[in-house]
Structure 1
Amino acid sequence: MSVSNFFNGKYILVTGGSGFIGKILIEKLLRSCGGIEKIYVLLRRKKDNAPEERLKIITDYQLFDTLKKINPEVIKKLVPICGDLAKPKLGLTEEDTQTLIENVDIIYHGAASVRFDDHLRDAVLLNTRGTKEVVDIAMQAKKLVTFVHISTSYCNCDRFEVEEKIYPAHADWKSTIRLAEEVDQHTLSILSPKYIYPLPNTYTFAKSLSEHVVNDLCKGKLLATIVRPSIVVPSLNEPIPGWIENFNGPVGLLCGGGKGVLKTCYGEENSTFDWIPVDILTKLLILITYEKALSNDIDEIPVYNAAAGEKTVMTHKELMDYGRKSIWDAPYTNLLWYPSCSMVNNLYKFYAYFLLYHLIPALLVDGLLKAFGRETMMLKIQRKLFVANTALSHFMTNSWKFKNAKVKALQKHVDEDGTQTFSFGHYFDMTSDGKYAHCRQAKIASSKLLFNEEYKREKGLRNTMIFWILDSVLHVTVFGILLWYLISKIEIITAVNNTINSYLVYFNEL
């Protein structure tokens, strides 16, 4: 039986279907596993949009255009389910709960808050208790084949070498959920830093506990797996090269530096970061589902590190170099200033540079905007950049090694399948040119997807040249003023010294 045929007639539940990974997973399942019966998508009511409207908005994205050309009717297999991961029992109605229990064969649990600065209560209720509520549905599902929990490679970032196994818990998940439900926010805020130690933020802490929720509740009872993606980045090829919809991770550096907004950041240039394109991740999720179902082993909860490994990882210096190369090779059409960005590993130096290159220019620009009756924006942008850099500092100054032997071993299923539908091996053998090509494509795609502007290389080159001239003139002017000031100071000091010497000579002669 081929991988795609395994999904024939299956009913699937996807949580986090409106997120970056969730959308690509749904699209890949519908495009490459056409025999699927239905995909239930857990969506919460957002503002005035009901789940049905939100699902329509999602499938109207350019992301689904290829699928619609191949088989437009397949979109009808998506069924929205109104629910909320942060609520007890997922906020589901009894009818919807029963529908899932009676029909679901496969569950992909990917919904989570990925904010690093979430309050401990919010992170635990959504990421840890939410996982428990999804597992409860899985435990009751009458036809369940397998349950796939999407975690993160960094949930054990207190270790700098992470194997494909579950590590001892940093706290008891049951007690932590009880604390989040019963203790007031002020007390939790005081307890939080010590309670989550040695993990750096509430996100990694809550995701770490969620792995133990899956392990404790599912082991020996149902087929379950834990998948740990590293930093999820734009797609390599499918369904659109460079598809991206947020500024998280390395994309933020490329976009901020490329627009001329980000001038300096705090980090260690030689530290590495692990990354995985979102389309490669979705292929791995499908292959892992297939492998676990074939094993029929409920006594073990396997862990897969969906990570680049030693060859494909990048240093921050590499990323910065690719960004500098793309300034002229793939320039943005509209810029705020000439793109240039440096990374410093000294915190005090970073503060000084941030004041000089970020805050002072932001104050000047906002002052001009206010003078002309326009809405100020630069200080808000710079505040977000500073908060983001502070939150990411632990990850930008350290390196991790993620073992991924189990993930690489999935290649056997690709070979058995006889097609390239789920091929991923090229990702683990990327050259420097391949990495740059991916960064370049992601930057080009971000023009339309993140900044809503058409990519026009000639116009971008012209604007980049204009800002390069302005930037050069500004630097020369500032340097000239400083030089003039120093020379004038020296002249004054020389004049004073000459005067003093004259008086000394006069008094000596007397």
Structure 2
Amino acid sequence: SPSAYEPVPGWVDSLNGPTGLIVGAGKGVIRSMLIDTRHLSEVIPVDYAINGLCVIPYQFTGLKERPAEVPVYNITCADHRKMQWGEVIDMSKDIGYRYPFEAGLWYPDGCITTNRLHHKINVILFHWLPAYFIDFMLLLLGQKRFMVRIQNRISVGLEVLQFFTMRAWFFKSDAYSSLWNIMNDVDKKNFNMDMDPVETVPMYIESCVVGGRQYLMKESPDSLPRARLQLKLMYILDRVCKTVIVGSLCYWTYGVVARLLGI
């Protein structure tokens, strides 16, 4: 996941993992995902992982003999820092509304569910149908089509992520955490992997959203006022469309029932 400190907070250069979910949902492209909100999230900043990989070999430089057992280091988030997926999602939505992405496909208000049938219906209605419709319109306009290709990539990414978000994972990280205790002050400064950092989880999630916006989407902080205005307009459009669709469905249902009852 995006960095906590180095090279700068929130730095990221890939859509893989949670960052892709943040960007996809923030752009209104991802409308549904399978997540069991009761399970604990397992996310660790990339700079923590890299620093850990640098420190682990250093521990064995002074050993004259190999350990009797092969040491295993799970580079994971500390247990007391883990949060349920539901809390992370709610927090991310709140922060995402404060730091919206520009020119999203739709208002970022997707569905989180554990029901696979519900999810598949949502994917067909809100992922594939809009993608094919947009590509069809681009074809008529003589423009390059891209939405179906993007949805294919999103589908592959979601399948990978959902394998983890629908299951509970428990990793012991005592060995990794113990590395911090054997480091001197200089090493701690150069290879920060403190599991009790100053910043809170909301602060880190905020840096992830801002980092995804700035480093992946190349959206300047100066564009935030415009993005917030676009978000408000998208919200109005979303509610109007939903009202029209639900109203039309109710009207059609009433007509069918009325004919059946001879009213």
Normalising by structure 2, what TM-score?
A: 0.90
Unaligned runs of 5+ in 1: 1-232, 499-510
Contact 1:414 1:422 in 2 (8 A): no
Q: In 2, distance between residues paired with 1:313 and 1:247? A: 22
The match for 2:208 among 423, 426, 442 is 442
Amino acid at match of 1:435: V
Question: Is the CA contact (8 Å cut-off) linking 1:264 and 1:350 kept in structure 2?
Answer: yes
Spell out, residue by residue over 1:27-54, the C-alpha distance to the aligned partner (whole angstroms, 9 max, x if none): xxxxxxxxxxxxxxxxxxxxxxxxxxxx
Out of 201, 224, 227, the position equivalent to 1:457 is: 224
Matches of 1:296 and 1:306, distance apart in 2: 25
The 5 Å alignment of 1:46-61 reads: none
Please give the residue correspondences for 1:159-170 in structure 2 after superposition, counting only pairs within 5 Å: none
**Matched residue SS, 1:410:** helix
Distance 1:296 1:333, change over 3 A: farther
Do 1:305 and 1:403's aligned partners in 2 also have CA atoms closer than 8 Å?
A: yes
- Structure 1 CA distance for aligned equivalents of residues 247 and 166 of structure 2: 36
User: Match of 1:289?
Assistant: 57
Listed one character per residue, the Cα deviations across residues 175-200 of structure 1 (whole Å, up to 9, x for unaligned) are xxxxxxxxxxxxxxxxxxxxxxxxxx
Is residue 249 of structure 2 the alignment partner of residue 482 of structure 1? yes
How far apart, in 2, do the equivalents of 1:424 and 1:353 lie? Answer: 40
Aligned-pair identity in percent equals 25
**Higher fraction of strand:** 1
- Given that 2:2 and 2:211 are in contact with CA atoms closer than 8 Å, whether structure 1 keeps it comes out as no
Give the conservation status (yes or no) of the 8 Å contact 1:414–1:420: no
1:366 to 106, 131, 135: 135
- Find the counterpart in structure 2 of residue 330 from structure 1: 99
1:191-227 deviations in Å (ceiling 9; x for gaps): xxxxxxxxxxxxxxxxxxxxxxxxxxxxxxxxxxxxx
Contact 1:414 1:423 in 2 (8 A): no
- In the TM superposition, residue 419 of structure 1 has moved relative to its aligned partner by 5.8
Instruction: Measure, in 2, the Cα distance between the counterparts of 1:376 and 1:408.
Output: 48
Query: Partner of 2:190 in structure 1?
Result: 421
Aligned position for 2:8: 240
Distance in structure 1 (CA, Å) of the matches to 2:102 and 2:91: 18
CA distance, structure 1, for counterparts of residue 101 and residue 161 of structure 2: 25
Structural mapping, 1:188-203, within 5 Å? none
Q: Letter of the aligned partner of 2:133 in structure 1?
A: L
Contact 1:257 1:341 in 2 (8 A): yes
Structure 1: distance between partners of 2:33 and 2:188: 43
State how 1:462-473 maps to structure 2 within 5 Å: 462-473=229-240
Structure 1 pair 378–409 and aligned structure 2 pair: CA distance change class (3 A): same
Root-mean-square deviation over aligned CA pairs = 2.1
Give the counterpart of 1:278 among 41, 46, 49: 46
2:159 and 2:230 mapped to 1: Cα distance?
Answer: 31
Query: Are 2:4 and 2:45, in contact at CA under 8 Å, matched by a contact in 1?
Result: yes
Match of 1:149 in 2: none
The alpha-carbon distance between structure 1 residues 423 and 430, as it changes in their structure 2 partners (threshold 3 A), is closer
Q: CA deviation at 1:429?
A: 3.2
Q: Is the 8 A contact 1:275 1:308 kept in 2?
A: yes
What CA distance in whole angstroms lies between the structure 2 residues aligned with 1:251 and 1:373? 32
C-alpha separation in 2, matches of 1:348 and 1:338: 23
- 1:358-392 alpha-carbon deviations (Å, 9 max, x no partner): 12222222222222111222222222222222233
Matched-pair contact (CA < 8 Å) for 2:16–2:157: no
Q: 2:174 aligns with which of 405, 423, 435?
A: 405
The equivalent of 1:210 in structure 2 is: none
Whether the aligned pair in 1 keeps the contact of 2:33 and 2:162 (CA below 8 Å) is no
Distance in 2, Cα, partners of 1:412 & 1:298: 21
AA matched with 1:367: F
Q: What's the secondary structure of 1:273's corresponding residue? A: coil
Letter in 2 for 1:414: M
What is the distance in 2 between the residues matched to 1:251 and 1:391?
13
Secondary structure (helix, strand or coil) at the match of 1:343 reads strand
Q: Give a deviation string over 1:321-355, Cα, whole Å, max 9, x none.
A: 12211232111123121111222111111111111
Within the candidate set 159, 163, 172, 1:390 is matched to: 159
| Offset of residue 422 of structure 1 | 2.7
AA aligned to 1:310 is: D
**1:419–1:360 CA distance, 2 compared to 1 (3 A):** closer
In structure 2, distance between residues paired with 1:453 and 1:479: 35
Displacement of 1:416 in angstroms is: 5.3
Report Cα offsets for 1:131-166 as digits up to 9, x if no partner: xxxxxxxxxxxxxxxxxxxxxxxxxxxxxxxxxxxx
Please give the TM-score of this superposition, normalised by the length of structure 1.
Answer: 0.48
Which of 488, 491, 499 is matched with 2:258 structurally? 491
